[in-house]
Amino acid sequence: MTSIAFRTASALVAALLLTSCSAPSPVPNLPGEADGAGSGASASRAPAAPSSAATSPTMEPEPGQQLQQHAVAAAHPEAVEAGMDILAQGGNAADAAVATAFAVAVVEPYASGIGGGGSAILAGPGREPVSFDYREVVAQDGRIPDSGTGIPGFVAGLAELHAEHGDLDWDQVLEPAIGLAGDGFPVSEFLSLRLRSDFGPASIEGLNHYHDASGDPLAAGDRLVQRDLAQTMASLAQEGPESFYTGGLAAELTRVDGLDADSLAAYEPEQVVPVGGVVGDYEVLSAAPPLPGAALVQQLQLAEALGIDGHEPGSPGYVDRLSEAWIAAEGSVKHLIGDPDFVDVPVDRITDPEANARIAEQVNLLAGGADASASTGPDAREGAVPGAGDALVQATGQPVTAGNTTHLTVVDQDGFTVSMTNTLTSFWGGSESEYVGGFFLNNQLSRFATEESEANQPEPGRKSVSWSAPSMVLDDQGRPVLGLGSPGGHQIPNILTGVLVAWGLRDATLQEAVDAPRFHLQDGVLAVEEEPSPELAELIAARDWELQRTERDQAIFGSVQALEINYETGQITGARDNRREADVAIADSRTGAE
Average pLDDT over residues 139-152: 95
At 383 the pLDDT is 29
Report residue 226: phi and psi, to 5°: -125, 80
The 3-state DSSP class for residue 547 equals strand
Fold of 3-18+274-396+494-549: Serum Albumin; Chain A, Domain 1 (1.10.246)
Cα gap 129→479, rounded to integer Å: 9
What band does 214 get if pLDDT is binned at 50, 70 and 90?
Answer: very high
What band does 15 get if pLDDT is binned at 50, 70 and 90?
Answer: low
What band does 17 get if pLDDT is binned at 50, 70 and 90?
Answer: low
Encode pLDDT of 190-199 as tens digits: 999 889 876 6
Contact at 8 Å (CB) between 518 and 504? Answer: no
Report residue 239: phi and psi, to 5°: -95, -15
At 403 the pLDDT is 62
Encode pLDDT of 535-578 as tens digits: 999 999 999 999 998 887 777 899 999 999 999 999 999 999 99
The 3-state DSSP class for residue 10 equals helix
Average pLDDT, the chain: 85
- pLDDT of residue 485 exceeding 70, the answer is yes
Distances (CA, A) of 121 to 112, 189, 286, 416, 473: 17, 30, 7, 11, 11
Cα gap 78→538, rounded to integer Å: 45
Opening angle at CA 396, ends 423 and 428, nearest 5: 20
Cα gap 36→553, rounded to integer Å: 38
Concatenated DSSP letters of 272-341: EPPEEEEETTEEEEEPPTTSTHHHHHHHHHHHHHTTGGGS-TTSHHHHHHHHHHHHHHHHHHHHT---TT
Contact at 8 Å (CB) between 136 and 117? Answer: yes
Q: Provide the residue count of the chain.
A: 594
Average pLDDT over residues 223-230: 98
Query: Which of 455, 440, 454, 452 lies closest to 404, judged by CA?
Result: 440
Encode pLDDT of 365-374 as tens digits: 766 532 333 2
Question: 347: Cβ–Cβ under 8 A, 6 or more apart, which residues?
Answer: 275, 288, 289, 294
- pLDDT of residue 338 exceeding 70, the answer is yes
H or E stretch at 81:
helix 77-88
- pLDDT of residue 392 exceeding 70, the answer is no
Torsion of CA 202, 207, 212, 214, to 10 degrees: 70
Concatenated DSSP letters of 146-190: TT---B--HHHHHHHHHHHH--S-HHHHHHHHHHHHHH-EEPPHH
Average pLDDT over residues 320-348: 94
Cα gap 155→135, rounded to integer Å: 10
At 552 the pLDDT is 79
Cα gap 66→481, rounded to integer Å: 12
Q: Which residue has the higher pLDDT, 33 or 92?
A: 92
Query: Which of 564, 594, 560, 562 lies closest to 580, judged by CA?
Result: 560
Average pLDDT over residues 244-272: 96
**Which range, 52-56, 117-121, 401-405, has the best average confidence (pLDDT)?**
117-121
Counting Cα atoms < 13 Å in the Cβ hemisphere of 273 gives 6
Cα gap 116→136, rounded to integer Å: 7
At 372 the pLDDT is 33
Cα gap 150→162, rounded to integer Å: 23
At 205 the pLDDT is 81
Q: Which residue has the higher pLDDT, 490 or 288?
A: 288
In the chain, which segments carry CATH 1.10.246.130? 3-18+274-396+494-549
What band does 404 get if pLDDT is binned at 50, 70 and 90?
Answer: confident
- pLDDT of residue 179 exceeding 50, the answer is yes
At 41 the pLDDT is 33
Encode pLDDT of 236-248 as tens digits: 999 999 999 999 9
- pLDDT of residue 49 exceeding 50, the answer is no
Concatenated DSSP letters of 433-490: --EETTEEBP-GGGHHHHT-BTTB---TTPPPP-----EEEE-TTS-EEEEEE---GG
- pLDDT of residue 309 exceeding 80, the answer is yes
At 430 the pLDDT is 86
- pLDDT of residue 57 exceeding 70, the answer is no
pTM of the predicted structure, to 2 decimals: 0.86
